[in-house]
Structure 1
């Protein structure tokens, strides 16, 4: 009797295991084959063309091939950068239209270059389009406000917005000015070795030092030297994480195995967090020691303002949240501003007439003095130039969103689980929106402001360097004030031209970067 019971239990257990294995196999087949095929049919019925589903890897292999081919040779000295910087997406839009389909592993991706659809998706307030799901390694870079969704994002956004009001940014101008003065002093020494006051400088790493110094001072009240260790760790982490994210040839799940590089990624994460926790503890102690620790004027750096946000959040914001926002400051604040400044100097070297116009405006408003807030607000030509550079060389060339549920937009029904790639660079170069000179540098198009810059004036929103809608970049004003001051002070002290060694080769990393640096010839004025 007892043996019979054991036998029966064994049969039940074995059957359960078989059913579990069968269920798992069916789930895998559903995920990697049936669901993608069904989604592809739904999209094709609506007239959406593109590549077909390929088991497991999708178009990743082809994407890598065309990207490596594009990066293998430089381009001529013009502003038609999409075929080199984002060749796969550019080719897809040219071949299949402004709404087309490709595949990321088993996930369908809609590449969208249509202005109406992009605006509708960015304006979404219902949570139908969310940030693309990330993997744990990508999350090592930051899990700040840009990666949050729903109510948690809304609360964080509401808490942090006051920290970026103009009155707070005005208080940061001395830090901006000091960082820029250090850059000018460094370049003056570099060009003082020749009687003509001329020297070649790769401005790309120099401007990264500048923007890192600005972030260090304004976020933590420290200088570049004090924030150098954190910057170096973050830079190494960025390279390793992007390598894992864009790696094509890997066994699914391998990125989570404790390999040498994966161990280094988590080791860097621990070191970065340890430095930031120490900075946070010091700032908390400093605020506690002040008699009026809640006085905004006493804590104009962003860390102090963030800690005030935390204290007033009714436990909705923790120290770990503050830490992640600090990581975001370093990544987004430093990279975006450095990219914009680098390309602005390159473009003004290509167009010396506009460089001279900008210099004359700065000297008229400021002389050789560092610009104050009023002068920065009146730099019309400089602002026109910066907007045109942002149009032609946006730091972020694409924006990613993910359909949380079945969604209808612009006459299309998009199933749940579809990634939408908003092709910002393609839109910025679209002749339908900007005219026949869309690929030419023409700051005059912004002479009446951003809203009236496009050819199609009734469609006022076709310019998205900082995103748009409810999730528009919180640090937009911070970045523009910083860049205007830096460019103005550079124009006051130097003229510049492309070095004979300059190679025009825009490429996409974390932001749009010059693949071989940006060597320029500086002439001290």
Structure 2
């Protein structure tokens, strides 16, 4: 009996060792061989860790000090991918743990990957701890993605945005009033302010009003919880490739799960109250001025159109995840766009003056309105140029689930595809010698003319998975920029430290040391 048990134990141990060897050595080395055979160059495979440690150390070193004041920011934001492309070419690979990550920059290849006509390129399955941050529409695949997209789409139609404008305006009025009070208490209406935390508060307030119609305090709490969760996630990021890490009883993991429970309870209460307000409202209009109400309305209609089958609709857990995504995507993306617009217009006063002249000619001293916002051509050009130079999400990734042709390449299954948005946006071959200069004129005739109809500008993604909230973000940014320009001129403070910063693909592009700006009341 003891011999049998010993034999069985030896067999199990051998099998586990065999599987581990396949995972950490045989499969990566075979994938590496396959890529090199096709002329793709890259970093040599390092067992288990790949390039994770070098990526982290290179990023930490690059972001340890501010940079000179310029829009040439790729060396600080994505130092490791930039170095790899410079050494190994625009199609090259690195190692995300045991998985090869093939980087592509050619617009035609980017188009193939992001259009995903063959359904071979899928979103990378997020680690369970990453899903605590948000696991909504942006993370889903297949039928679940299609269902959620169909249900969420009506809430983001352009005409629906019109009913959101009063809420956006109310938040912007409060923001400008706060700035004006600072001007009154200062000498000659001039004062200095780190606008980054104030812009974050503004976008939290806007998403609270437009998404949920909830109180600012509730919205602020959701933002605080998700911010804390993102910081903890950043700490554990280098260890996520370890099997079963989510079960490790570390302080960070325990705290993340605790925050998730509080976040879900808070959002569930908001959703239940919204459902009750819909049920108590006979004419069904009270809920149609916020995104959550519109989505719940669309969900209910979707269920009714399918013989009241709840299987075709979203559950309350699904709605909670979409609400988390509202905040993490809606707040972060617009905050990033607004702060870099403020910095860029401070660096380029001639464009600030042109934008102000346009705003004043359209609105004078009156509050901006929905129809007028669509006529802000110069402001629109400026926002596009800021999105080109400072895209909120600096890198998009996909996973290749089966062997597929990509251009002249044949990619085996098990490969990650990386599209470095910021590097494509700064590519001189695509944008000319002034690629790293602020030149909104390039968008004077629209995106198609600026890109020569190539997929070289995609700050909100591209293809069927393009960000559903991009129109909302642009309207929000136009309103805020227009109102600031109406009331103030502004410039960078001598204390401003230029330090664009991205925490390993987890956060939107942010100013690491804030954005200190001097305002002058007009």
- For Structure 1 versus Structure 2, the TM-score category normalised by the shorter chain is over 0.9
Deviation of the 1:30 alpha carbon: 0.4
After superposition, what is the alpha-carbon deviation per residue over 1:298-328, rounded to whole angstroms, capped at 9, x for unaligned?
Answer: 4221111121233224323100000000000
Match of 1:195 among 184, 187, 191: 187
Question: 1:163-178 counterparts in 2 under 5 A?
Answer: 163-178=155-170
Deviation of the 1:246 alpha carbon: 4.2
Give the number of the structure whose alpha-carbon radius of gyration is greater. Answer: 1
Match of 1:55 among 19, 22, 47: 47
- Runs (5+) with no aligned partner, structure 1: 1-6
- Runs (5+) with no aligned partner, structure 2: 304-308
Partner of 2:306: none
| Greater mean deviation of Cα atoms: 305-314 or 423-432 | 305-314
User: Secondary structure in 2 aligned to 1:80?
Assistant: coil
Partner of 1:363: 360
Partner of 2:124: 132
Partner of 1:3: none
**Matching of residue 408 in structure 1 with residue 400 in structure 2:** no
Deviation of the 1:203 alpha carbon: 0.8
Partner of 1:511: 508
1:254–1:154 Cα change, 3 Å = closer
Partner of 2:13: 21
Match of 2:88 among 83, 96, 112: 96
Deviation of the 1:132 alpha carbon: 1.2
User: Secondary structure in 1 aligned to 2:361?
Assistant: helix
Distance (whole Å) between structure 1 residues aligned to residue 140 and residue 5 of structure 2: 42
**Matching of residue 302 in structure 1 with residue 291 in structure 2:** yes
> Does structure 2 retain, via aligned residues, the 8 Å contact 1:362–1:492?
yes
**Matching of residue 146 in structure 1 with residue 135 in structure 2:** no
User: Secondary structure in 1 aligned to 2:449?
Assistant: coil
Aligned length: 511
**TM-score of the aligned structures, taking structure 2 as reference length:** 0.95
> Does structure 2 retain, via aligned residues, the 8 Å contact 1:125–1:470?
no
Match of 1:490 among 484, 488, 491: 484
Deviation of the 1:195 alpha carbon: 3.2
After superposition, what is the alpha-carbon deviation per residue over 1:233-263, rounded to whole angstroms, capped at 9, x for unaligned?
Answer: 1111111112222469x96644531222211
> Does structure 2 retain, via aligned residues, the 8 Å contact 1:212–1:231?
yes
Partner of 1:435: 432
Question: 1:41-440 counterparts in 2 under 5 A?
Answer: 41-246=33-238, 253-293=244-284, 295=285, 298-311=287-300, 312-313=302-303, 314-315=309-310, 316=312, 317-440=314-437
Distance (whole Å) between structure 2 residues aligned to residue 431 and residue 71 of structure 1: 24
Question: What is the alpha-carbon root mean square deviation over aligned residues?
Answer: 1.5
Deviation of the 1:166 alpha carbon: 1.3
> Does structure 2 retain, via aligned residues, the 8 Å contact 1:49–1:100?
yes
Distance (whole Å) between structure 2 residues aligned to residue 55 and residue 252 of structure 1: 15
Q: List structure 1 segments (4+ residues) > 6 angstroms apart after TM superposition.
A: none
> Does structure 1 retain, via aligned residues, the 8 Å contact 2:274–2:287?
no
1:260–1:298 Cα change, 3 Å = closer
**Matching of residue 499 in structure 1 with residue 493 in structure 2:** yes
Partner of 1:4: none
| Greater mean deviation of Cα atoms: 238-247 or 142-151 | 238-247
Distance (whole Å) between structure 1 residues aligned to residue 433 and residue 251 of structure 2: 51
